[in-house]
Amino acid sequence: MHLNAKRLAGIFIQDGQHFVAAPVTQLVVNEVYRPNVVGEPIREARQSLIEFAWEPTIQTEEVVLSFVEEMRQSRIVETIDCAGTGFGYCSFEYENAHANLNVTTSEQTVPVGYDDVVLYYGVSCK
């Protein structure tokens, strides 16, 4: 580890790049914090992201699937689109002053039926 690197709960950070060494509940890149929301239903993940100062990016582009518009109308305004592949993949976008965060979900079985569960997410600096 170099002198300029920081270690945060199993994460090595050096010059804006991060290397995951172990599962953690928070990750940081250039002072951009994000909770680990993988495996959470989108509504819970959304709340966690908002608590970490990630703002939902309001999506206004027209969509083909009515399900996407229903999600937007149910106050998940950051829904970009969903794939019509039968796997229920959907994408969502959040932002803060320093970065954009994209989340991808898939419809999965949860204790009370089905929900969009976070598969992965990524951050890109502004």
pLDDT per residue over 53-98, tens digit each?
999 999 999 998 888 998 899 999 999 999 988 778 999 999 998 8
Asked whether the predicted pLDDT for residue 47 surpasses 80, the reply is yes
Could you tell me the end-to-end alpha-carbon distance of the chain, in angstroms, rounded to an integer?
27
- What is the per-residue pLDDT across 100-122, written as a single tens digit (0 to 9) for each? 999 999 988 766 666 889 999 88
pTM: 0.73
Question: Which residues are CB-neighbours of 36 under 8 A, at least 6 positions away?
Answer: 23, 24, 25, 26, 27
Q: Which helix (H) or strand (E) holds 8?
A: strand 6-8
Rounded-to-integer distance, Cα 110 and Cα 114, Å: 5
Q: Does residue 41 sit in helix, strand or coil?
A: strand
